[in-house]
């Protein structure tokens, strides 16, 4: 029977490091990326030498750049995951057989993937229409509530920030006071079709200036699909 032996990795001590560097004098020339992480004193009495100061500044810049790069990688990874989820949602929306299915798919997905505390859908009807089976608000085309969002319809893009009191009351009713920030997606294709509103109790979640690229893409697909089903 063969007995497996586990190799034990020994942590090098100062003597072994010294011997290695002595035998490999070109080590730091071949691995210059290590130098900014090293602390090498430059004795000049009580004064701080210019070389030591420059090394300290470079080391701090190196750490800052590494942290920034790490943050960018994390953001890119999150955006890639979000893009994949959005792609699946769009596929479901395109193949949905009814308007109610489109609304339910949209609300469930946005609640799960955009960290929203609430998602409401408003549809605008150009004629008399029965009460919806799905959970959305249906407004006549000439309803005064539609005019509250005229600026958003005019610009045709998602807007983040705080809603006005009348806007919150129309969309959220008794839960209006819980809305600290919101993202409003206009649905437009040949005419005003409605709105998708994501709300949060956190003022910073959908603060003014937040990126809305994914929400704009969703709005374009939803607009075309809703138009074909109404």
Domains recognised in the chain with CATH numbers: 14-95 (no CATH), 98-229 (3.30.450.40)
Lowest mean pLDDT of 36-40, 97-101, 119-123, 165-169, name the range: 36-40
Give Cβ neighbours of residue 52 (< 8 Å, ≥ 6 apart): 41, 42, 44
Of 182, 184, 120, give the one whose Cα is nearest residue 152: 184
Give 43's DSSP letter: -
What is the rounded average pLDDT for all residues in the chain? 81
List pLDDT tens digits, range 84-123. 878 888 888 888 888 889 999 899 888 888 888 999 999 9
- Do 223 and 151 touch, CB atoms closer than 8 A? no
Strand segments (E) across the chain: 118-125, 137-140, 159-161, 181-188, 192-200
For 141-170, what is the mean pLDDT? 92
0.95 exceeded by the pTM? no
- Do 149 and 186 touch, CB atoms closer than 8 A? yes
């Amino acid at each position: 029977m063969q007995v497996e032996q586990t190799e034990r990795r020994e942590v090098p001590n100062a003597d072994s490091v010294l011997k290695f560097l002595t035998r490999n004098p070109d080590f730091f020339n071949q691995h210059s990326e290590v130098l900014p992480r090293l602390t090498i004193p430059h004795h000049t009495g009580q004064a701080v030498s210019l070389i030591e100061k420059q090394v300290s500044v470079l080391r701090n810049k190196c750490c800052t750049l590494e942290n920034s790069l790490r943050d960018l990688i994390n953001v890119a990874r999150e955006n890639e995951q979000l893009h994949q989820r959005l792609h699946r949602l769009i596929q479901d929306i395109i193949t949905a057989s009814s308007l109610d299915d489109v609304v339910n798919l949209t609300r469930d997905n946005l609640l799960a993937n955009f960290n929203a505390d609430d998602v409401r859908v408003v549809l605008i009807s150009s004629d008399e229409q029965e009460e919806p089976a799905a959970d959305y608000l249906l407004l006549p085309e000439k309803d005064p509530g539609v005019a509250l969002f005229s600026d958003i319809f005019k610009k045709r893009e998602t807007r983040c920030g705080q809603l006005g009191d009348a806007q919150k009351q129309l969309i959220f009713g008794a839960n209006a006071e819980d809305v600290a920030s919101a993202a409003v997606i206009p649905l437009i294709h040949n005419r005003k079709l409605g709105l998708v509103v994501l709300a949060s109790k956190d003022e910073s979640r959908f603060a003014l200036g937040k990126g809305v690229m994914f929400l704009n893409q969703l709005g374009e697909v939803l607009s075309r699909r809703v138009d074909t089903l109404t």
